[in-house]
Amino acid sequence: MNLYAQMTPEELQITLRQLKEEHRGYVAKGLSLNMARGKPSAQQLDLSMPLLDAASAASDLHALDGTDCRNYGVMDGIPEAKELMAQIMDDVPERVCVFGNSSLNIMYDLITHGMLYGFLGNAPWKDAGTVKWICPVPGYDRHFAILEQMGIQMIPVPLNPDGPDMDQVEQLAADPAVKGIWCVPQYSNPSGITYSPEVVARLAAMGAADDFRIFWDNAYCVHHLSEESAQSVHVADIAEACAQAGHPHRYFKFASTSKITFPGAGIAAVAASCEAIAQIKKRVGIQTVGYDKINQLRHVRFLKDLEGVKDHMAKHAAIMKPKFDLVERKLSQGLGANLAPDAQGDQVLGLAGWTRPQGGYFVSFDGMPHTASRTVALAKEAGVVMTGAGATWPYKQDPLDSNIRIAPSLPPLEELDQALDVFVCCVKIAAIEALLEQ
Amino acid sequence: MNLYAQMTPEELQITLRQLKEEHRGYVAKGLSLNMARGKPSAQQLDLSMPLLDAASAASDLHALDGTDCRNYGVMDGIPEAKELMAQIMDDVPERVCVFGNSSLNIMYDLITHGMLYGFLGNAPWKDAGTVKWICPVPGYDRHFAILEQMGIQMIPVPLNPDGPDMDQVEQLAADPAVKGIWCVPQYSNPSGITYSPEVVARLAAMGAADDFRIFWDNAYCVHHLSEESAQSVHVADIAEACAQAGHPHRYFKFASTSKITFPGAGIAAVAASCEAIAQIKKRVGIQTVGYDKINQLRHVRFLKDLEGVKDHMAKHAAIMKPKFDLVERKLSQGLGANLAPDAQGDQVLGLAGWTRPQGGYFVSFDGMPHTASRTVALAKEAGVVMTGAGATWPYKQDPLDSNIRIAPSLPPLEELDQALDVFVCCVKIAAIEALLEQ
């Protein structure tokens, strides 16, 4: 399958020289391109500018319940913001808290909560000896960084096209020291897969510690790339699954408007069982007098409801889809057929596989073993910043050094086109170098 | 001095009957008045409405350094927001982080930081056995609530007119288990006192654990009640004092615009030594991708600089001063001369003392021993909500049951007038009841 692997060393050297010549050309251009982070483009941000006028000097800033959103109070979110976020999260307002601008911060605070106070009568994790966590890979580097900072031991398990390898997850969760699992259940970061209903049911039903928690970071729940996927892709509700399985407190659901409106100025929410929400409110009521209610009001007035969100997300999709299409086209043209499980194609260079997501912000790219770091370094030399190799694994240690997260959202199409040319060239150089070293 | 104490039981009973008659009159009115929390009035909030138009749909939302404030990034605040908050905090932008809307949340996170990670190479407090904290009283209930939640042992020390009793503080700080002290150093909550330069110097210089931290919550640093106090009252800089004393990492300074612009939608900041700021950034960089930079931009564009803040605060003072004057007038008229150390006057009922602050949000009221709870309960019966008795002490345990925090900012003047009539009546009833029980 790998055409390079069938070449002689001499043929490889000739090809390598040509590729290095090409690479030098990119370096000489002094490019400054970025495919590193899942940042919306300026064009996407422009979609939400009317949000800012939804709370102007001339506006009435009272919430529906009469709260003056300018003043202190209402620590868990104004009612209409809870309603909006509940709709986005498949939940009910009573089980939702709307906090500040960062769902990551809510997750961080909840893991801190587990460490210092414990959940619903269970001992604080700081007193529980070693605490372990299940980390589907490839996964989200910021999730892993939280656990690493807190000294929680991360155990990678493979993320399959239908979700984490549940045989391994069930086996691990039986250990009472295992207290949680990271899940980005729809359009997973970075592979773009969505958990199947069976996986959701097994996560909810499996044996696990009483204070085992599924951190359900549904960051891309409305982030479809096409009308077709908007119609067909929707992960099963973990709350309902956990309730049905008799583990009603096992999950925390997270969502935010960071990639709906403004990443720097959105609103974020958590949903959980009523008992868990009560405990969260008790802690957060000590932590702060309240979050930015004017911004909550802005969001409700601008987005209105789930239908409003869907209409708005279709505008994002119209900007994002051509970028993902371009990634697919450039990788296919440059590297031959996609080796990912669901890929199809005839022409084969066979160096790599990558995902073709229907939503979310990323393409997960797998090169030949021992080439990811080199590829990213070569790209950087040529002015193209990628997410660091290894970032998709706990402790940044990708044992195969093969996975790279591609984030095509930020650059305009013409820049993305150029960045992908550079990337393809670097993938090829790293592959040949790896073959020559064998 | 206490006229009631010189009455016969029969005289007291007659007076009590008259007062209870008056109280029943208030109850019958079905009042709903609030002197409980330090919330700005609607009139004050209106001062900041133009802030909202400082970031409109038509605005350029780039920071001075080119950052698109709508997008992810810049975890520690945009440069112009650091500059503004540094001016407010007597500091330099390099030693300032601007975060979300709540300085209380920054304090909470920093104590959590001490618990889980420790400061600058010292052991995490969770591994240090009992952790103790110095709490000047009367103090701020939300400060105490954080420590109580974390299981940190609170030790009250008297707050004198020039700051905490430093002989006691120095003795306590010598215990290596004592890791911190709460300070509201200017217009203290609730007594309104400002720390003297000598107290600031002693706090900075005293012997204490390497990871002892002064939590310098300078919440009222620009919150003067008159032009005269704006000219004359300014607490000494704890950063400079600590640096000079050879303990450069001993302090964290906090400030926010909660009572400058909008309590529900302001910006908050922390200042500390460069090494401490570096450690904070490292932790917060894991906790969140960043705070609301659009709101930071709004604030800078509206307030501009320290001069702009001062002009704006003069408008607040014009609204606040008549309320504090009314408190003083009503209490003096109703209860006779003020027994507080700095009070003057001829007419003496002698039941109580209270402070006459030059800034901040509160009057600290001391009734006869064993009367505060009863006074607050009587006021509540008559529709006047006060801060709970005991709130100004750790664990809500005021050993004398005498201190009450009066917060006159929220109600309009006519409501405040009525609420103070009720309050005075309740103070008298509680006093007589206490005397009759002796």
Tens digits of residue pLDDT in B259-315: 999 998 999 999 999 999 999 999 999 999 999 999 999 999 999 999 999 999 999
Q: DSSP letters of B245-291?
A: TT-TTSEEEEEESTTTS-TTS--EEEE--HHHHHHHHHHHHHH-S--
Residue A45 near chain B (CB below 8 Å):
yes
Indicate the pairing of strand A403-406 with strand A363-366: antiparallel
Closest-CA distance, B4 to chain A, in angstroms, reads: 40
Q: Note whether ipTM > 0.85 here.
A: yes
Structure tokens at A158: 């493979």
The CA-atom distances, in angstroms, between B404 and each of A18, A363, B177, B362, B398 are 82, 60, 31, 10, 10
**Which amino acid is present at A181?**
I
Structure tokens at A78: 């104004």
**Which amino acid is present at B121?**
G
Q: Is the pLDDT of residue A121 over 80?
A: yes
Mean pLDDT over residues B195-203, rounded? Answer: 98
Indicate the pairing of strand A178-183 with strand A213-217: parallel
Contacts of A150 in chain B (CB under 8 A): 116
Phi-psi region of A184 (alpha: psi -120 to 50; beta: other; left: phi over 0): beta
Cβ neighbors of A148 (< 8 A, separation 6 or more) are A154, A394, A395
The least confident of A334-348, A395-409, B375-389 is A334-348
Closest-CA distance, A328 to chain B, in angstroms, reads: 26
The answer to whether B296 and B77 have CB atoms below 8 angstroms apart is yes
Per-residue model confidence as pLDDT tens digits over A184-202: 999 999 999 999 999 999 9
Confidence of residue A5 (pLDDT cuts 50, 70, 90): confident
Mean pLDDT over residues A203-217, rounded? Answer: 98
From the list A45, A291, A292, which residue is nearest B70 (CB)? A45
Nearest to A276 by CA among A241, A239, A237: A239
From the list A55, A115, A283, which residue is nearest B116 (CB)? A115
Contacts of B283 in chain A (CB under 8 A): 149
Distance CA A127, CA B270 (A): 30
Q: Is the pLDDT of residue A278 over 60?
A: yes
The CA-atom distances, in angstroms, between A176 and each of A3, A211, A212, A345 are 48, 9, 8, 46
How many Cβ atoms are within 10 Å of B18's Cβ, its own excluded?
Answer: 12
Q: Residue B351 has what pLDDT?
A: 83
The answer to whether A291 and A98 have CB atoms below 8 angstroms apart is yes
**Exposure pattern of B70-87 as b/e (b: 16+ CB <10 Å)?**
bbbebbbbbbbbbbbbbb
A interface mutation test: which of B76, B292, B410 has the most A CBs within 10 A?
B292
Q: Residue A346 has what pLDDT?
A: 41
Q: Residue A438 has what pLDDT?
A: 81
Q: Residue B5 has what pLDDT?
A: 85
Residue A69 near chain B (CB below 8 Å):
yes
Please name the residues between 79 and 138 in chain B that touch chain A, using a CB distance below 8 Å.
100-102, 104-105, 108-109, 112, 115-117, 126
Residue A68 near chain B (CB below 8 Å):
yes
Residue with the two structure tokens 């990119």: A26
Cβ neighbors of A2 (< 8 A, separation 6 or more) are A349, A350, A351, A368, A431
The proportion of chain B whose per-residue pLDDT surpasses 90, expressed as a percent, equals 94
Nearest to B268 by CA among B109, B405, B388: B109
Distance CA B96, CA B74 (A): 13
Q: How many helices (H) and strands (E) does chain A have?
A: 14, 13
The answer to whether B57 and B63 have CB atoms below 8 angstroms apart is no
Q: Which helix (H) or strand (E) holds B193?
A: none
CA atoms within 13 A on the CB side of A374: 19
Nearest to A193 by CA among A355, A27, A424: A355
Phi, psi of A420 (to 5 degrees): -70, -35
Nearest to B94 by CA among B242, B289, B239: B239
Confidence of residue A382 (pLDDT cuts 50, 70, 90): very high
Mean pLDDT over residues B123-134, rounded? Answer: 96
* Strands of A62-202, DSSP E: 96-98, 132-137, 153-160, 163-164, 178-183
Cβ neighbors of B259 (< 8 A, separation 6 or more) are B38, B40, B219, B220, B223, B316, B361
Flag if B100 and A101 touch (Cβ within 8 Å): yes
What is chain B's length? 438
Q: Is the pLDDT of residue B346 over 80?
A: no
The answer to whether B159 and B340 have CB atoms below 8 angstroms apart is no
Mean pLDDT over residues A17-38, rounded? Answer: 96
Per-residue model confidence as pLDDT tens digits over A341-365: 555 444 446 789 999 999 999 999 9
Confidence of residue B350 (pLDDT cuts 50, 70, 90): confident
Average pLDDT, chain B: 95
Structure tokens at A204: 């909810």
Q: Tally A–B CB contacts below 8 A.
A: 160
Phi-psi region of A121 (alpha: psi -120 to 50; beta: other; left: phi over 0): left
Distance CA A383, CA A381 (A): 5
Distance CA A9, CA A395 (A): 35
Distance CA A180, CA A436 (A): 42
Flag if B71 and A39 touch (Cβ within 8 Å): yes
The CA-atom distances, in angstroms, between B173 and each of B28, B114, B201, B204, B209 are 52, 17, 15, 11, 7
Structure tokens at A436: 């020559």
Flag if A57 and B70 touch (Cβ within 8 Å): no
Q: How many helices (H) and strands (E) does chain B have?
A: 14, 13
Flag if A292 and B288 touch (Cβ within 8 Å): no
Residue A287 near chain B (CB below 8 Å):
yes
Distance CA B83, CA B96 (A): 8
Residue A395 near chain B (CB below 8 Å):
no
| Terminal Cα distance for chain A, rounded | 18
Flag if B264 and A45 touch (Cβ within 8 Å): no
